[in-house]
Structure 1
């Protein structure tokens, strides 16, 4: 996986939310290698350049999670919503994402496969 494809720049600080044992460790490592920084968790409380949010169908309310994911993102930053691919346990429908994103103040810009089990949907924050 080319972490640069996610648009993260070297020296950027990326927050990771929703980590669990099923996350793609290769993708996580690629992001850390590309940015030169370890992923930070949700307890950091600093402004970050971007967020990756691992999300599965049974994780709760997606809109609430997206609102929470934007709390520490710098203006113009992105949230990458990582969901299991179609046919995988925990798959989240595009319709659910399409419904939750605008309510959370986000715009869907692109979706692409990132590894064998996950799809990444880029959600952009609106200018404040």
Structure 2
């Protein structure tokens, strides 16, 4: 695929920047009607599979966690999100952007991630109303 086609895909599929691959199993937690449908559909288009929910009982390749300020304890949510993924697999924490209902302070995200044993590697705009923070579990020390 040409570089121009790659850039066109990024503009038409917001999930392209999240780094998902065909065949991956992506578990979605915290879904509600305010979730960015275009992003969800984009993830499914890339992976070729439907998102699986919290009842999925096998290992997932990644987790998408929708979280709003009033959803409870972020650290607990992040710990729960890591229970069925391999070390090094990403947890995409999706939170409302600044000024939107449910906005979560970046300092709270950083503190909760660290407490949950995750490292934040990047932050992106994940749609009109959502920001995405890529969090990963540390890989085993060699």
TM bracket, shorter-chain basis: over 0.9
Query: Is residue 55 of structure 2 the alignment partner of residue 52 of structure 1?
Result: no
Number of residue pairs matched?
A: 128
Map 1:1-128; keep pairs closer than 5 Å: 1-128=13-140
- Structure 1 moving runs of 4+ over 4 Å: none
CA RMSD across the alignment? 0.8
- Structure 1 or 2, whichever has the larger Rg, is 2
In 2, the alpha carbon distance for the partners of 1:98 and 1:75 equals: 19
Once the two structures are TM-superposed, the CA of residue 76 in structure 1 deviates from its matched residue by 1.7
In 2, the alpha carbon distance for the partners of 1:2 and 1:55 equals: 18
In 2, the alpha carbon distance for the partners of 1:27 and 1:8 equals: 12
